[in-house]
Amino acid sequence: MMHSLKQIFPRHDLIAFAILAAILAIVFPLTMDIFRLNLVGKYLTYAFVALGLVLCWGYGGILSLGQGIFFGLGGYCMAMFLKLEASSPENTAIQSTPGIPDFMDWNQLTELPWFWEPFHSLPFTLFAVIAVPTVFAFFIGVAMFKRRVGGVYFAIITQAIAAILTILIIGQQGFTGGVNGITDLRTFLGWDIRTDSAKYLLYFVNLVLLFICLVIAQCVRKNKLGRILVAMRVREERVRFSGYDVSNFKIFVFCLGALFSALGGAMFTLQVGFMSPTFVGIVPSIEMVILCAVGGRLSILGAIYGALLVNFAKTSFSETFPELWLFAMGALFISVVLFFPNGLASLYQEYVLPWIKARFKPRVKTKPEAKVESKAKPQPELSEATDDSANLPAGARYEN
């Protein structure tokens, strides 16, 4: 996978990554107070989901309207660990059964359910954050893709699963905290996560994880697997006759998307301090798709910018007109789909990039030796591809 760094990270991608890293790791922390920064951190947990959707939907053509399932499972796993830590016998001495989470006590449970037990252990919890959603995605994937269920049917089924999971969580109040979710989380291995310094640190942990996911996504899209996904999107049938078992590739990318979402969910719990069914169901799942569409569904970096912009808009908009936000969101989605099917990334590709190129071209010409040097390893595919990109068929552009 790491065979040629240059092939996976061509220069313009490297620059784009660096710009994003600078904005998130330097500009934001320097210019924002911790309240705002924590908000950005929260938005970025949705970016994990949007990133997974770029691979699943943008590349592989698999539209999942149920990514909240995995975000929620990851978030709940983390929340269970934190809740157990917050429910030590000393903290819960006033309960009729001390040592179990408060909501269990309220629901007349007298002992911890068996599936909560292992969440006393941090290693198990971290494993579960990753494994539970991914394995669940694997089963959904096998059940659907091996039977060649795809397209709209798949989208509807994922949505149904998201709805069922929400109902289950709300219904099993004693085990899950019900509609309120798992709240009042305090410490992580004794370290108070509600303090400002903890929030700063968690913001950066979140960033590091996000960039790890970005690098994984970049590796996937830049090697053969990514090209198989692109091929599958329009010509699934042909891919079979090139000798590939299409369902396995779909299962893989769906699991990867679930894994990303789960990490986002776990980081959400840590940064925001609670997890509830509002982040599992249909509405958040569709919101995630909108983030991805606004950013540009073929652009892994676009997913991050999309998540930030839409959520900034959401926050400022819903402060003033809370009841109008859903309509605004719908309008945004429809107009993006109608007018910018490839999202913000297409604006960047169409207007910003040519402008940058036009401005910086003369400088390159005055330094021919530098250019020769940097092209020492010829990359004919790349240079040619950019020349041709002006008249590429739909879908092949805007990938960045």
Partner 1 sequence: MKTNDFVLAVEGLTVSFDGFKAVNDLSLYVDEGEIRVIIGPNGAGKTTVLDLICGRTKSTSGSIKFRDKELTKMSEHQIVHAGVGRKFQNPSIYEDLTVFENLELSYPKGRSVFGALFFRRDQAVINQVKAIAESIFLADLLDKPAGLLSHGQKQWLEIGMLLIQEPDLLMLDEPVAGMSVAERKKTAELLKRITKGRSVVVIEHDMQFAEEIADRVTVLHQGQVLSEGSMERVQNDPKVIEVYLGH
Binding site for partner 1 (CB under 8 A): 1, 3, 7, 220, 223-225, 227-228, 230-231, 233-235, 237-246, 248-249, 252, 380-381, 384-385, 388, 391-393, 395-396
Q: Which is nearer to partner 1, 322 or 380 (CB)?
A: 380
Residue whose C-alpha is closest to residue 202's, from 215, 192, 217: 192
Q: Which is nearer to partner 1, 269 or 346 (CB)?
A: 346
Shortest approach of partner 1 to residue 226 CB, angstroms? 9
Q: Which is nearer to partner 1, 114 or 241 (CB)?
A: 241
Shortest approach of partner 1 to residue 222 CB, angstroms? 11
Angle of CA points 280, 284, 288, to nearest 5°: 120
Q: How far apart are CA 193 and CA 208, in angstroms?
A: 18
Q: Which is nearer to partner 1, 25 or 135 (CB)?
A: 135
Distances (CA, A) of 226 to 108, 142, 246, 257: 51, 20, 13, 14
Q: Which is nearer to partner 1, 174 or 395 (CB)?
A: 395
Q: Which is nearer to partner 1, 172 or 383 (CB)?
A: 383
**Whether the Cβ atoms of residue 133 and residue 70 lie closer than 8 Å to each other:** yes
Shortest approach of partner 1 to residue 302 CB, angstroms? 18
Q: How far apart are CA 36 and CA 352, in angstroms?
A: 28
DSSP-assigned states of every residue in 84-151: HHHT-TTTTTTSSSTTS-HHHHHTT--S--GGGGGGG-HHHHHHHHHHHHHHHHHHHHHHHHTTT--H
Shortest approach of partner 1 to residue 7 CB, angstroms? 8
Shortest approach of partner 1 to residue 213 CB, angstroms? 16
Q: How far apart are CA 231 and CA 243, in angstroms?
A: 13
Q: Which two tokens stand for residue 140?
A: 């959904």
Shortest approach of partner 1 to residue 293 CB, angstroms? 19
φ/ψ (deg, to 5) at 182: -100, 110
